[in-house]
Amino acid sequence: MADPIIHLLDEETISHIAAGEVVERPASVVKELVENAIDAGASRIRLRVKSDGTGIRQITVIDDGSGMSPEDAHLAFRQHATSKITTAGDLAGISTLGFRGEALASIAAVSEVTLTTRRRDDLAGTRITLSGGMITSVSECAAPPGTTIEVKSLFFNTPARRKFLRTVSTELAHVFDLMERTALSHPELSFQLVHQEKEKFITPGRGDLLETIQGLFGADRARGLIPLAPLRGEIPVVGYVAYPLGSRTNRNQIYISVNGRQITSASLVRAIRDGFGTSLAKGEYPFAVIDCRINPEDVDVNVHPTKREVRFSSDRQVVDAVRTTVWSALTEKSEKEVKIPHATQRPLSGHGEAVLDSSVSHRKPGLSVSEGAATYGRSDQQLRVTEPAGSPTPAPLVSSPALRVLGQVNGTYIIAISDEGELVIIDQHAAHEKIVFDLLQTREGDSSASQQLLVPVKVSLSRKDAALVMDAILDLRSAGFVIEEFGGDSVAVQAVPAGPVKLDDPAEVTSLLLEVIEGIRGPVGERRMRAFKTIACRAAIKGNAYLSQEQMERLVQQLFLAGPPYTCPHGRPAIVRFGSADLEHLFKRR
């Protein structure tokens, strides 16, 4: 008989194969180490990353969790060694992030690891170093309570895997993204990310998701957020959603977790988008941070080697809960903030009508209408840009419904009555944005699109941005920019889109250009539209800008000239109408 051709693999080969499943790239190391820190009950978790031109050199995760005994520190690196489950039955209701007992073994198999750990009550800590999975030294050491794991020379012994790594910046981006996702799924813990000794972010860890979002993405992002409230009878879904900022259409801004475990799920991404209904433009993705609170017994977490995906016992139920929770948060918000500006909070009593009286609605404490000229200056310049040249009162191209402007609320909404007796509320920013966007499209490429700068503005760009500008030069030109290469990574801006910027302000010119190229990345077919959207958003009058009666009338007229659909380029409504039936309903007459 011939020798069998099948044989058992040796330990080392087995561990490399296992490692290949768990440790795809540097970000996978970070994921596993940070999850271990969370499972160890840490309250502060710090990640230090060092990179050079060739790759990520060192990953260090420091936690203040339980620490390990010297015996456990040894066992932790064995394959299938875990403190988190004992029997297969335990798999049915897992409440820790880890449970496979593979991560440390896998990471150690393909790198050089130093573990330093001490339990709070132990006098001494333990330090273990490993290389390619073999322990190279063990010693007692002084250490703060908790665990520090340092990983170097990742994939040094698996050249095939090393070859598949992408550029340093891509790998770093995955690491940052992973850390952001983790921080968002655990607002009760403080996360710090340090790259090359520079702090990239720190979250406060006080359990406030809003604060966490602000710590990660800044105050601008935190401002426009809409909170989700769990719905009765549905799986509880909590978190925040928001319309995309500016022209960001990135689907990577959707952060989903289930019981604090970050996951990827195409069906839940779709459910979130569905919750936005038609208010998102095609191809546009919202910002969302959601956590679904599901009974652990109804979630199977053991379906993916890196635990990135999970399976629900009822997929349908989870998808429905996400969609309806998002939907009802959005509609409730618009009811509170748009539909019923005063009626509910402040019943119309004695001088109630004054709310809709134009002379009153301009007034804010400390600001009287007579200050008009100064206050309205900038808005007026912005409004004029979008008016057809020459005729001050152009003949309507479409029959504009006669709208009588009554006044302005909070410097943001214009209140009017239509000739059909509807109460009409116009969001002045959304309306003007729509007007500018349409205008940009109609004047595409024509000379009125540009305003020549007296002195060209030199803008120094990063190498990447300079390349993007050159890539997008035609799109930028069609939007009104005239740009020339200036040598190195600088460009000279000779003309800018008519309207949005103050001509004498180089900082404004620069920031508009940067904003436009930031938004312009993406599929070629949409580039121009994205540039227009960004410019429109910048050019449009903002909320909180007090307008004169005449300015409001001009704006309303322009909006109707621009024609339907009456939504801003981002898909938000520019106009909300209340017919007599709606009003009767609001006042419970019917």
- Taking CA 288 as the corner, what is the angle to CA 285 and CA 290, rounded to the nearest 5 degrees? 140
Q: Residue 426 binds which one of ligand ADP, Mg ion, none, with CB within 5 to 8 A depending on kind?
A: none
Q: How far is the CB of 317 from Mg ion (least distance, A)?
A: 29
The answer to whether residue 98 forms part of the interface with Mg ion (CB under 5 A) is yes
Specify the 3-state DSSP secondary structure of 366: coil
Does 526 participate in binding ligand ADP (rule CB under 6 A)? no
147 binds, among ligand ADP, Mg ion, none (CB under 5 to 8 A by kind): ligand ADP
Give the pair of three-digit tokens for residue 214: 């602000």
The residue range among 100-108, 188-196, 412-420, 452-460 that interacts with ligand ADP, by the rule CB under 6 A, is: 100-108
DSSP-assigned letters across all residues of 281-303: PTT---EEEEEE---GGGEE-TT
What is the footprint of ligand ADP within residues 128-157 (CB under 6 A)? 147
Per-residue CA distances from 123 to 64, 140, 141, 330 (Å): 16, 10, 9, 55
Instruction: List, in order, residues 6 or more apart from 123 with CB less than 8 Å away.
Output: none
> Which residue has its beta carbon closest to ligand ADP?
98
34 touching Mg ion, by CB under 5 A: no
Q: Which of 36, 158, 212, 567 binds ligand ADP (CB under 6 A)?
A: 36
Q: Which residues have a Cβ under 8 Å from the Cβ of 463 and sit 6 or more positions away?
A: 489
H or E stretch at 456: strand 450-460
Q: Choose one: 102-110, 346-354, 370-378, 569-577; the region binding ligand ADP (CB under 6 A).
A: 102-110
Q: Give percent helix, percent strand, percent coil of the chain, each to the nearest 5.
A: 40, 25, 35
> How far is Cα 581 from Cα 590, in angstroms, rounded to an integer?
8
CA distances in angstroms from 80 to 20, 76, 253, listed in the order given? 15, 9, 34
Which two three-digit tokens encode residue 325?
């929770």
532 touches, from ligand ADP, Mg ion, none (C-beta below 5 to 8 Å by class): none
* Contact string 246-275 vs ligand ADP (x = CB under 6 A): ------------------------------
**Segment contacting ligand ADP (CB under 6 A): 35-43, 315-323, 413-421, 481-489?**
35-43
Instruction: Establish if 83 lies at the interface with ligand ADP (CB under 6 A).
Output: yes
Q: For ligand ADP, which residue of 23, 29, 94, 103 counts as binding (CB under 6 A)?
A: 103
Rg (CA), the chain: 29
Residues in the interface with Mg ion (CB under 5 A) total 3
What are the tokens at 42? Answer: 């840490």
Determine the size of the site formed for ligand ADP (CB under 6 A): 23
- Of Mg ion, ligand ADP, none, which one does residue 68 interact with (CB within 5 to 8 Å by kind)? ligand ADP
65 binds ligand ADP (CB under 6 A): yes
CB 81, min distance to ligand ADP, A: 6
Backbone dihedral angles phi then psi of residue 567, each to the nearest 5 degrees: -125, 155
Residue 63 interacts with ligand ADP (CB under 6 A)? yes
In the bound state with ligand ADP, the residue whose beta carbon lies nearer, of 38 and 520, is 38
| Of the residues 18, 27, 29, 104, which one makes contact with ligand ADP according to CB under 6 A | 104
* Binds ligand ADP by CB under 6 A, chosen from 28, 51, 82, 116: 82
Q: Report which DSSP code applies to 251.
A: G
Among 62, 94, 103, 299, binds Mg ion (CB under 5 A): 103
Q: E-assigned strands of 246-368?
A: 254-258, 261-263, 287-292, 299-300, 311-312
DSSP one-letter string for 383-424:
HHHTSPSS-SSPPPSS-PPPEEEEEEETTTEEEEEETTS-EE
Identity at 366, one-letter amino acid code: G
Q: In this structure, what token pair is assigned to residue 235?
A: 């799986």
100 binding partner (options ligand ADP, Mg ion, none; Cβ < 5 to 8 Å by kind): ligand ADP
Residues that bind ligand ADP (CB under 6 A): 32, 36-37, 40, 63, 65-68, 76, 81-84, 98-105, 147
Residues at the interface with Mg ion (CB under 5 A): 36, 98, 103
